[in-house]
Amino acid sequence: MEKTKILLQNIRHYVLDNGLKVICLPKKESQIVCIQIWYLTGSANEYDGIRGISHFFEHMMFRGSKNIGPEEHAKKINEVGGHYNAFTAEDVTAFINSVPKEYLDMVLYMESDRMSDLIINEKVLETERNVIIEEYQTYMNNPLSKAFLEFRKEFFKDNPYEYSALGRLEDIKSINVNDCQNYYKKWYCPNNAIMVIVGDFENSEMVFEKVEAHFKRHERREISAEKKEIKKLNSNNVFMKREVDFDVPVCIVGYPAPCASSVDTIPLEILQIILSHGETGRLNKEVVRKNSLAIMAGGINQFLKYSGMSLFFAIFTPNISINKIKDAILNQIEQIKDGNIKEKEMEKVKNSVIMNRVFELYLCDNICQRLAYSEAIEGNYKLWVERLSALDTITIDDLINAAKKYWNSSESKTLYLKPKKINPLVYFMGLLRKFLPNK
Amino acid sequence: MLFKNININFPFVKSKIIDNGLKLIFAEHHEQEGVVIAFQLPFGNFNEPIDFEGITSVIVNTILKGPAGMTCEEFAEKIESCGGTLFTDIGNENCIIGCKFLSRSLDVIIPLFWEMIINPALHPKEIERIKKEIQTSIQSELVDPSAIANKHFGNVLCGKDHPAGKFETIKSISRINHNNVKEYYNKYFCPLGSVLMFCGDFDSEKILINYEKIFSKWNKKIDGNIVIAPPIKNLSENKIRLIDKSDLTQASIVIGHPTCSELDTMKCDVLIANYILGGGNFSSRLMENIRSKEGKTYTIASLVSFEKKFGIFSISTSTINQKVKDMLENIFNIYKTFGEKGITKEELENAKKYLLGNITFQFEGIVNIAEKILWLEQFSRKFEYFEEFILEIKNTTVEKVNEAIKKYFYSKYFAMAVAGKKDEILPILKYYGDVEVINYKKIL
């Protein structure tokens, strides 16, 4: 993958005197430039009374700063044909801008303005509170997302990740201007931010100079090193059942996983590909196709800054019992732990990872996102690049050891979404599938 | 390919119609070592027979399970072991089956992909699996109020007899059997009118030399007429449907009416009008007034979707039950002012800047480029269309856009679908006309 290697060799890293980290990658083919700024604060930095406040900032950052009017940031980007977005997660609040290459300065100016001169007042707060309550209701009106949030709360009980970025309704209703000003002062500063710029520019040095010109005025602040209290995740076996207005039963099994900077994330990601990726993923091959127990099955790892989880799921028909489904999922995981991994599967994993990487590299937004995630959550942007070479050295034993270390049945937590009523048609379809001949 | 008026990195595109009528298109793009291969058919959901809604989805997804003479597992193993990913995209008037892969696997993927298209196994067991997957995804829409409202909106606006008024249900999927699938495939899947496109890192000459004969071997002829959906009748009264889901604390609302087709000369002006009213996110009038100033919703947007003979304009939003009355009043006030007074020069200039500036983003990477090329093919357009579009945007005036608003964007009557709690929403909706109330599970 020569072209991939050549492109990634050009990544440059720079730190301003005030602590702002900047990562750049020129990509001349794009004719656009993407600028993302990730503040290293999210729902993990919240506590009772202000749960959901990070999400308020995702919204309020568009409501005007000293030199930028309300929604002007968004409008200016629209006017040049670009796009913007923002998201709040457990460890970060991120702001995304993509514009034609001529408008890099415009974005840097606007991002700089809202880094320390955001307008926070009663009027802005009340409007956004209403919007956020609407957003909250959208999630809560979906019984599946509501149940999953409850499961997540149980999974990360007494941990910084217990609450999602959505927060708590009671807190959303009571957060005040003072709370917001304190939070802004505490976390929105250059030495608590990472900026990634990818796109059509001549060289990274020139971009660094521009960033410095716009951001050097911001003073470094003392980040209160409130060390997160990371208790070991509750190792009890948990079984949660929720009756939902959804005709198809769902089983989710979760295991505690390491934090994003752990070397163990690489084997766990490879194992997820073996288990869950595509038609040949083992869960699909065995649980869905061979044994006809589920309609769909798969999994995903979520690695956060201080902890993580490996999730596996199966959507099945009401004629199958939850225990049978859960056993079928666990059985696949046990087989991995017993050493049943083939070289052929490793080959598939390698090609699949390379293929994903190649297609990621076509889009500046994707590259920005990956670099920012690696720096902000994993602790070093280089990890994203180095993952490819790790594929050449990792062994089947490494995979087995990781599975043994993290995927212990005794520590698994299960969520069973049980339909309130059984739809006879869905039941019948389940039986029918069972009796059709397999090819 | 170089355009006079657009500064974009568009690849050199070569095309050839071979003996069996199949159009081959090659867009070489060597930035990275990826390739997209896509087979596009000139029909989609609109072509489905009544009571068999969803058959396109069943067939296309069953085709992905591989060619005859090979088990699904064997086929998947061959594709996935070299990192290939199959995909489908089913539209109203087209459908696409494709594969993304690394250029080094070209000679493994092309023969397998083509065999899958021209000689699919369509095994009964796979058909049943796919049906179940589709039924589960229909089920999952029931937990999403905005999906419920959107699904019903087309039905309310177009009526159940119009292709755009139909939608797949658990029952319609259940009716589909192995024979229907084989019949439909034999009738409509053929080379004439279809496109096989390659975009990415390859040598088109080599592909032609090695594979043209193989592509030509498929000599099937279409056995029936493809349905082109007719224009939608203009509304002569408000048509309102409330989809009752008693546990909802928030109502999801879709309001709209027919508008012009993709091929209408006023399409660009309609696009501009839509951007200003509700398509331009925070730059739009709806977003600015309803979200930014009043915080009444998380999101509100308007959309125009264009088909060959008609288009649909719609406004979508959601709000808590207590605010529905206010929300509807606001929407209709903004809409009325827009229709009566039209747009300002400043709004037009901003919309033009967005549409022109955004062109570059639409051609970033081989997946986007492939999509654009296939979209042109769907409407039998030449590559020059991109330049014509830009000139049209540049040259339009406030007067022209306002004329388009009067003709296509301002309707006395509207269709509305609301997913919400009957007890709280029905009295509000009755103000706008007769309301048909149905239970949300009727979608099944």
pLDDT of residue B4: 67
DSSP string for B318-332: EEEGGGHHHHHHHHH
Q: Name the residue of chain A whose CA is nearest to B123's CA.
A: A439
pLDDT of residue A432: 54
User: Distance from CA of residue B274 to its chain's centroid?
Assistant: 17
* Cα(B362)–Cα(B368) distance, integer angstroms: 6
Q: Does A107 touch chain B (CB under 8 A)?
A: no
pLDDT band at A433 (very low <50, low <70, confident <90, very high): low
Report, in angstroms and rounded to the nearest whole number, the Rg of chain A calculated over CA atoms.
24
* Cα(B201)–Cα(B190) distance, integer angstroms: 27
The Cα angle at residue A279 between residues A277 and A283, in degrees rounded to 5: 65
Sheet holding B34-41, edge to edge: B13-17, B23-28, B195-200, B34-41, B95-102, B85-90
Q: Is the pLDDT of residue A439 over 50?
A: no
Q: What percent of chain A has pLDDT over 70?
A: 94
Q: Is domain B13-216 in CATH 3.40.50.2300, yes or no? A: no
Q: Name the residue of chain A whose CA is nearest to B81's CA.
A: A348
What are the residues whose beta carbons fall under 8 Å from the beta carbon of B206, sequence distance 6 or more? none
CB nearest B318 (choices: A134, A317, A423): A134
- Å from B165 to nearest chain A CA? 24
Contacts of B100 in chain A (CB under 8 A): 355, 359
Look at A211-215, A389-393, B279-283, B390-394 and tell me which has the smallest mean pLDDT.
A389-393
pLDDT of residue A392: 84
- Å from A69 to nearest chain B CA? 12
Contacts of A133 in chain B (CB under 8 A): 320
- Å from B432 to nearest chain A CA? 24
Cβ contact, residue pair B320, A248, below 8 Å: no
> CB–CB of A24/A11 below 8 Å?
yes
Q: Is the pLDDT of residue A314 over 60?
A: yes
The one-character DSSP state at B201 is S
Place of tokens 């009038």: B285
- Å from A23 to nearest chain B CA? 21
> CB–CB of B35/B202 below 8 Å?
yes
Alpha carbon dihedral B397, B402, B405, B408, in 10-degree steps, equals: -70
With 0-12 / 13-18 / 19 or more C-beta atoms within 10 angstroms meaning exposed / middle / buried, residue B432 is: middle
DSSP element (H, E) containing B301 = strand B300-306
Cβ contact, residue pair B140, A344, below 8 Å: no
Cβ contact, residue pair B367, A362, below 8 Å: yes
Residue B168 backbone phi and psi in degrees, to 5: -70, 145
Q: Identify the bridge partners of residue B152 per DSSP, sorted by sequence position.
A: none
Cβ contact, residue pair A81, B354, below 8 Å: yes
Nearest to B44 by CA among B56, B53, B55: B56
Instruction: Provide the chain A residues 169-228 that lie in CB contact (below 8 A) with chain B.
Output: none
CATH architecture of A11-215: 2-Layer Sandwich (3.30)
Once rounded to an integer, what is the mean pLDDT over residues A353-374?
A: 95
- Å from A251 to nearest chain B CA? 14
**CA quadruple B159, B165, B169, B171: dihedral positive or negative?**
positive
Q: Which residue has the higher pLDDT, A438 or A188?
A: A188
Number of A to B CB contacts under 8 A, please give it: 218
> CB–CB of B439/A245 below 8 Å?
no
* Cα(B443)–Cα(B150) distance, integer angstroms: 12
Q: Does A78 touch chain B (CB under 8 A)?
A: yes
CB nearest A98 (choices: B121, B139, B361): B361
pLDDT along chain B (444 residues), means of 10: 67 94 97 97 96 97 97 96 96 97 97 98 95 92 93 95 94 96 96 96 97 94 86 96 95 97 96 96 94 92 97 97 96 96 97 94 94 96 91 96 94 96 97 96 74
What are the residues whose beta carbons fall under 8 Å from the beta carbon of A83, sequence distance 6 or more? A77, A96, A97, A98, B361
pLDDT of residue A206: 95
Correct CATH for B239-443 of 3.30.70.100, 3.20.20.140, 3.30.830.10, 3.40.50.12240: 3.30.830.10
- Å from A112 to nearest chain B CA? 21
Q: Is the pLDDT of residue A376 over 50?
A: yes
* Cα(A382)–Cα(B36) distance, integer angstroms: 29
pLDDT band at A431 (very low <50, low <70, confident <90, very high): low
* Cα(B51)–Cα(B73) distance, integer angstroms: 32
> CB–CB of A414/A239 below 8 Å?
yes
> CB–CB of A193/A39 below 8 Å?
yes
What are the residue ranges spanned by the domains of chain A? 11-215, 238-435
N-term to C-term CA, chain B:
48
Q: Does A425 touch chain B (CB under 8 A)?
A: yes
pLDDT of residue B2: 53
B124-141 vs B178-188: helix axis angle to the nearest 10? 90
Tokens of B424: 């709280």
Cβ contact, residue pair A140, B8, below 8 Å: no
Q: Coil, helix or strand for A373? A: helix
Q: Coil, helix or strand for A255? A: strand
* Cα(B58)–Cα(A114) distance, integer angstroms: 50
Q: Does A426 touch chain B (CB under 8 A)?
A: yes
CB nearest B123 (choices: A288, A432, A439): A439
What does chain B come to in residues? 444
Cβ contact, residue pair B80, A143, below 8 Å: no
- Å from A429 to nearest chain B CA? 7
> CB–CB of A400/A341 below 8 Å?
yes
pLDDT of residue A2: 79
- Does the fold of domain A238-435 match that of domain A11-215? yes
Cβ contact, residue pair B170, A438, below 8 Å: no
CB nearest A141 (choices: B101, B250, B444): B250
pLDDT of residue B229: 95
Q: Does A139 touch chain B (CB under 8 A)?
A: no
* Cα(A130)–Cα(A122) distance, integer angstroms: 12
> CB–CB of B433/B240 below 8 Å?
yes
CB nearest B250 (choices: A75, A137, A247): A137
0.80 exceeded by the pTM? yes
The one-character DSSP state at A107 is H
SS3 track for B57-125: HHHHHHHCCCECCCCHHHHHHHHHHCCCEEEEEECCCCEEEEEEEEHHHHHHHHHHHHHHHHCECCCHH
Tokens of A104: 């890099």
Going by their DSSP bridges, the two strands A93-100 and A83-88 should be labelled as antiparallel
Residues of chain B with CATH 3.30.830.10: 13-216, 239-443
ipTM of this predicted complex? 0.93
pLDDT band at A23 (very low <50, low <70, confident <90, very high): very high
pLDDT of residue B444: 62
Tokens of A407: 């995927």
- Å from B226 to nearest chain A CA? 31
> CB–CB of B354/B280 below 8 Å?
yes
Q: Is the pLDDT of residue A318 over 50?
A: yes
Q: Is domain A238-435 in CATH 3.30.830.10, yes or no? A: yes
Please state, in angstroms and as integers, the Cα–Cα distance from residue A16 to each residue in A19, A53, A193, following that order.
Answer: 5, 28, 11
pLDDT of residue A429: 59
Most distant pair of Cα atoms in chain B: their distance? 69
CB nearest B136 (choices: A74, A141, A315): A315
* Cα(B400)–Cα(B390) distance, integer angstroms: 16
> CB–CB of A192/A184 below 8 Å?
no
Once rounded to an integer, what is the mean pLDDT over residues A131-152?
A: 92
Q: Does A138 touch chain B (CB under 8 A)?
A: yes
Q: Name the residue of chain A whose CA is nearest to B365's CA.
A: A362
| Most A-contacting residue of B252, B364, B371, B441 (CB-CB within 10 A), to test interface | B364
Please state, in angstroms and as integers, the Cα–Cα distance from residue B335 to each residue in A53, B163, B256, B314, B425, following that order.
Answer: 34, 28, 11, 11, 21
User: Distance from CA of residue A344 to its chain's centroid?
Assistant: 30
Cβ contact, residue pair A81, B294, below 8 Å: no
Q: Does A10 touch chain B (CB under 8 A)?
A: no
Cβ contact, residue pair A317, B139, below 8 Å: no
Tokens of A320: 């199958």
Contacts of B367 in chain A (CB under 8 A): 359, 362
DSSP element (H, E) containing A148 = helix A143-155
Cβ contact, residue pair B320, A137, below 8 Å: yes
